[in-house]
């Protein structure tokens, strides 16, 4: 296991500005209580109330613990989990509503499980609240380019780089694949390096209980864009449309796997069904797996002994097969 910084000397979107200037952090909050408040707020619509709940949890889960910085100077990384003789690699992207990252069940456990299947894994630590879009998506794009640029060093096939995202990590993957892949949206003043010129295409895309549109979870929109944009009805609707992976589907040429729990109470799974239907109408190659008994955030357990872990076996079988179902890896 090795932690790798994916950007060079210049990290687009970073500055010495204090994050607290852009956040509404509640006083004397308790971690577990605030987690429940944050989860409840994800289905809300009141700007000030919802933003405060997410900002407060971002502070408790990241800034207060020293996991993320007090200023906009976070350093995005990939944690590399090598597998003996692996030619295939998966970039794993944890979720957490862009308020924090669920690293264990949607990152570390997944990477270890992939290693046992002979697949190399990279867990992405991307920038989140209060960074603004498209900065998190730029971290996703940079991760793909970084792995490809160093593929020979890692001993993997540069044509076998796949993405696997959970919840908000599913948006990271879906948003990148449909909105950013093949493009550059660097801010003014950023100087591109050689890795920025590397091909950012991927072999497969996999989405686990993903948030693919923010129409059902407006608070995520609230923390990813300035107040003046999301409080204005016209610009809010423009953002919802511009960042909607279903309305802007542009990844039909990439083989995809989508899985969700039908008892999900955090992210409306209807958006996943709509995404799959849109892909199929565009002649995309997509596999859908529904878990009747699963809620949101099931990820992968450490010992792979939960009923919901069955999705992983199906995913690996799919990943190791071509679109005819014949095993090729």
Residue 274 pLDDT > 90: yes
| pLDDT at residue 241 tops 70 | yes
Share above pLDDT 70 across residues of the chain, in percent, rounded to a whole number: 98
Residue 324 neighbours by CB distance under 10 Å:
6
User: Is pLDDT of 324 > 50?
Assistant: no
Q: What is the rounded CA–CA span in Å between residue 243 and residue 146?
A: 24
Across 264-277, average pLDDT: 96
Q: What is the pLDDT of residue 28?
A: 75
204 contacts 163 by C-beta, under 8 angstroms: yes
Degrees, nearest 5: CA angle 112-266-285 = 60
pLDDT tens sequence across 48-83: 999 999 999 999 999 999 999 999 999 999 999 999
pLDDT at res. 146: 99
3-state SS of the chain is CEEEECCCCCCCCCCCCEHHHHCCCCCCCCHHHHHHHHHHHCCCCCHHHHHHHHHHHHHHHHHCCCCCCCECCCCCEEEEECCCCCCCEEEEECCCCCCCCCHHHHHHHHHHHHHHCCCEEEEEECCCCCCCCCHHHHHHHHHHHHHHHCHHHHCCCCCCEEEEEECHHHHHHHHHHHHHCCCCCCCCCCCCCCHHHCCCCCCEEEEECCCCCCCCCHHHHHHHCCHHHHCCHHHHHHHHHHCCCCCCCCCCCCEEEEEEECCCCCCCCHHHHHHHHHHHHCCCCEEEEEECCCCCCCCCCCCCCCHHHHHHHHHHHHHCECCCCCECC
- Note the pLDDT tens digit of each residue in 8-20: 999 999 999 999 9
**Does 226 map to a domain?**
yes
Counting the structural domains of the chain, the total is: 1
- Band (pLDDT 50/70/90 cuts) for residue 1 is confident
**pLDDT at residue 325, as a whole number:** 41
Average pLDDT over residues 284-297: 96
HSE-CB of 176 using CA atoms within 13 angstroms? 32
Per-residue pLDDT, 323: 54
Cβ(173)–Cβ(93) below 8 Å: yes
Residue at 215 is within a domain: yes
pLDDT at 12: 98
Average pLDDT value over all residues in the chain: 96
Q: How far is CA 100 from the centre of its chain?
A: 11
Q: Where residue 217 sits, what CATH number does that domain have?
A: 3.40.50.1820
**Residue 145 sits in which domain range?**
77-187+195-319
Of 62-66, 167-171, 318-322, minimum mean pLDDT range? 318-322
The overall pTM is greater than 0.85: yes
> Is 60 a member of any domain?
no
Q: What is the CA radius of gyration of the chain?
A: 19
pLDDT, mean of residues 270-291: 97
Query: Which whole number is the average pLDDT over 219-245?
Result: 97
Decide if 23 is inside a domain: no
- Amino acid 173: pLDDT: 99
């Amino acid at each position: 296991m090795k932690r790798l910084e994916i950007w060079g000397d210049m990290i687009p979107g970073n500055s010495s500005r204090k994050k607290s200037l852009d956040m509404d952090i509640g006083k004397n909050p308790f971690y577990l209580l605030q987690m429940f408040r944050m989860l409840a707020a994800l289905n809300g619509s009141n700007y000030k109330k919802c933003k405060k709940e997410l900002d407060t949890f971002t502070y408790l889960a990241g800034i207060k613990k020293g996991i993320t910085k007090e200023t906009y100077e976070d350093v995005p990384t990939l944690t590399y989990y090598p597998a003996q003789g692996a030619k295939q690699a998966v970039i794993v992207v944890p979720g957490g509503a862009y308020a924090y990252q669920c690293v264990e069940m949607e990152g570390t456990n997944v990477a270890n499980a992939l290693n046992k299947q002979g697949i190399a894994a990279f867990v992405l630590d991307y920038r989140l609240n209060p960074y603004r879009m498209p900065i998190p998506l730029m971290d996703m794009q940079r991760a793909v380019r970084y792995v490809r640029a160093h593929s020979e060093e890692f001993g993997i096939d540069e044509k076998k780089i796949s993405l696997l995202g959970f919840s908000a990590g599913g948006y990271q993957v879906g948003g990148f694949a449909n909105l950013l892949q093949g493009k550059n949206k660097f801010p003014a003043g950023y100087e591109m390096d050689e890795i920025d010129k590397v091909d950012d295409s991927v072999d497969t895309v996999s989405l686990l209980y993903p948030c693919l549109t923010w129409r059902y979870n407006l608070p995520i929109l609230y923390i990813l864009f300035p107040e003046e944009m999301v409080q204005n009805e016209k610009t809010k609707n423009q953002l919802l449309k511009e960042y909607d992976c279903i309305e802007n589907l542009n990844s039909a040429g990439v083989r995809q796997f989508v899985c969700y729990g039908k008892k999900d109470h955090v992210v409306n799974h209807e958006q996943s069904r709509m995404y799959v239907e849109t892909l199929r109408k565009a002649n995309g190659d997509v596999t859908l797996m529904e878990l009747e008994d699963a809620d949101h955030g099931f990820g992968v357990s450490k010992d792979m002994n939960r009923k919901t872990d069955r999705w992983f076996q199906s995913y690996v079988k799919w990943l190791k097969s071509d679109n005819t179902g014949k095993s090729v890896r």
